[in-house]
């Protein structure tokens, strides 16, 4: 029995005819070009769906000088990073923003020399249309690599030593200040902090918020130990603080993972939370509801961070103007403080 002949693919002209628009208008709508009316875009999308039209990606790339790919580069080299609840939520947000586009995402771990070389080659050959960056530290080589490439670039969180043209960040200073003010309002005065890594904007900003709240309340910042945003790092920092400030009565941790480590060490040392020591975290990850006791924390919308970064990059690729964005934070009160 003879096989059925292959089904002929519909053409762009047929899409335009079905949508009732010109061929060029259909092409612009399919290629997500700016200055296409909402009605035209909707009519073309409907025609594409009804006819089962598949754009010729090679021809599209030649016509638009675009690859249809965007990158998310992280200054880190451990693949386990993407299993971290924070980065997992960022990627959920990025994916949600890309869902209604034809853009694809490539993830780049680019802290080592080898990773930076791969990223440099990717950008130099215009293998992506734009890039998002996260987890930068100090004078991170990634900033130089990306600035030299001249591609649209959006930063998730601000670098420490310069202000990029486009970024999406959370109100880290205000959130840490809010956490510290909450503890002061509870009558705590010997408040220590487990900071994020020095050399990162997020670590510096959250420490600054803690200091500002203490000084504005007429209190001397009581003690600080640096962590690395992991539970183990928070536990180690809590042990250091208990040794140096055994009469501490509250802890502000720069993220929930470190707060969870601090809670474990406090329990092991016989300190009751919140009776002896009150604890506040930052991020409002799922772990904050599973700690004993459940963790009071500063909520930031991590999925929104990923989503807004991606939307900003999409607009920049399309030639639309955007301004940087700082997302609000709020306190979520649970049993730890």
SS3 annotation, the chain: CCCCCCCCCCCHHHHHHHHCCCHHHHHHHHCCCCCCCHHHHHHHHHHHHHHCCCCCHHHHHHHHCCCCEEEEEECCCCHHHHHCHHHHHHHHHHHHHHCCCCCEEEEEECCCHHHHHHHHHHHHCCCCCEEEEECCCCCCHHHHHHHHHCCCEEEECCCCCCCCCCEEEECHHHHHHHHHHHHHHCCCCCEEEEECCCCCHHHHHHHHHHHHHHHHCCCCCCEEEECCCCHHHHHHHHHHHHHHCCCCCEEEECCHHHHHHHHHHHHHCCCCCCCCCEEEEEECCCHHHHCCCCCEEEEECHHHHHHHHHHHHHHHHCCCCCCCEEECEEEECCCCC
In this predicted model, what pLDDT tens digit does every residue of 147-163 receive, in sequence order? 888 889 999 988 877 78
pLDDT value for 1 = 46
In this predicted model, what pLDDT tens digit does every residue of 175-231 receive, in sequence order? 999 999 999 999 999 999 999 988 788 999 999 999 999 999 999 999 999 998 999
Dist CA 49 CA 124 (whole Å)? 36
Confidence of residue 34 (pLDDT cuts 50, 70, 90): low
Say what percent of the chain tops pLDDT 90: 53
pLDDT value for 82 = 64
pLDDT value for 235 = 98
| Most confident of the ranges 50-54, 123-127, 237-241 | 237-241
- Single pTM value for the model: 0.77
Lowest mean pLDDT among 19-28, 236-245, 301-310: 19-28
pLDDT value for 65 = 61
CB atoms within 10 A of CB 150: 9
Cα dihedral 57, 63, 66, 67 in deg (nearest 10): 20
List, as own/partner pairs, every contact residues 35-43 make where C-beta atoms lie below 8 angstroms and the sequence separation is at least 24, other chains included: 43/19
Q: Which residue has the higher pLDDT, 327 or 24?
A: 327
pLDDT value for 199 = 78
- Check the CA dihedral 164-83-86-266 and report its sign: negative
Please state, rounded to an integer, the average pLDDT across all residues of the chain: 87
Say what percent of the chain tops pLDDT 70: 88
Q: Sheet with 167-170: list strands edge to edge.
A: 104-109, 69-74, 130-134, 153-156, 167-170, 325-327
Q: Which residue has the higher pLDDT, 28 or 257?
A: 257
Q: Which residue has the higher pLDDT, 26 or 98?
A: 98
pLDDT of 62 above 70: no
Q: Which of 132, 171, 201 is nearest to 325 (CA)?
A: 171
Q: Which residue has the higher pLDDT, 200 or 31?
A: 200
In this predicted model, what pLDDT tens digit does every residue of 202-218 receive, in sequence order? 999 999 999 999 999 99
- How large is the average pLDDT for residues 86-112? 85
């Amino acid at each position: 029995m003879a096989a059925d002949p292959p089904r002929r693919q519909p053409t762009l002209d047929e899409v335009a005819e079905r949508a009732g628009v010109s061929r060029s208008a259909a092409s612009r709508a399919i290629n997500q070009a700016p200055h296409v009316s909402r009605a035209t875009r909707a009519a073309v999308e409907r025609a594409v769906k009804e006819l089962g039209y598949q754009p010729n990606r090679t021809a599209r790339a030649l016509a638009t000088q675009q690859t249809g790919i965007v990158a998310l580069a992280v200054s880190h080299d451990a693949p386990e990073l993407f299993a971290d609840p924070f980065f997992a939520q960022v990627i959920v947000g990025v994916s949600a923003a890309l869902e209604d586009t034809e853009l694809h995402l490539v993830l780049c771990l680019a802290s080592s020399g080898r990773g930076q070389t791969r990223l440099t080659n990717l950008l130099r050959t215009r293998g992506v249309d734009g890039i998002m960056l996260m987890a930068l530290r100090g004078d991170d080589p990634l900033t130089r690599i990306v600035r030299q490439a001249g591609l649209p670039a959006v930063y998730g969180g601000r670098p420490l030593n310069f202000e990029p043209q486009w970024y999406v960040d959370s109100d880290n200073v205000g959130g840490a200040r809010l956490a510290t003010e909450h503890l002061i309002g509870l009558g705590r005065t010997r408040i220590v902090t487990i900071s994020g890594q020095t050399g990162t904007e997020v670590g510096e900003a959250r420490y600054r918020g803690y200091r500002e709240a203490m000084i504005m309340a007429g209190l001397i910042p009581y003690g600080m130990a640096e962590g690395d945003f992991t539970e183990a790092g928070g536990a180690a920092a809590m042990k250091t603080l208990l040794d140096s400030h055994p009469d501490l009565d509250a802890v502000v941790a720069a993220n929930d993972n470190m707060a969870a480590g601090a809670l474990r060490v406090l329990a092991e040392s016989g300190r009751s939370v919140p009776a002896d020591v009150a604890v506040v975290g930052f991020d409002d990850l799922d772990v904050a509801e599973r700690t004993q006791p459940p963790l009071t924390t500063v909520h930031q919308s991590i999925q929104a961070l990923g989503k807004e970064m991606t939307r900003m990059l999409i607009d920049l690729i399309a030639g639309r103007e955007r301004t940087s964005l700082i997302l609000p934070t709020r306190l979520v009160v649970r049993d730890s403080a």
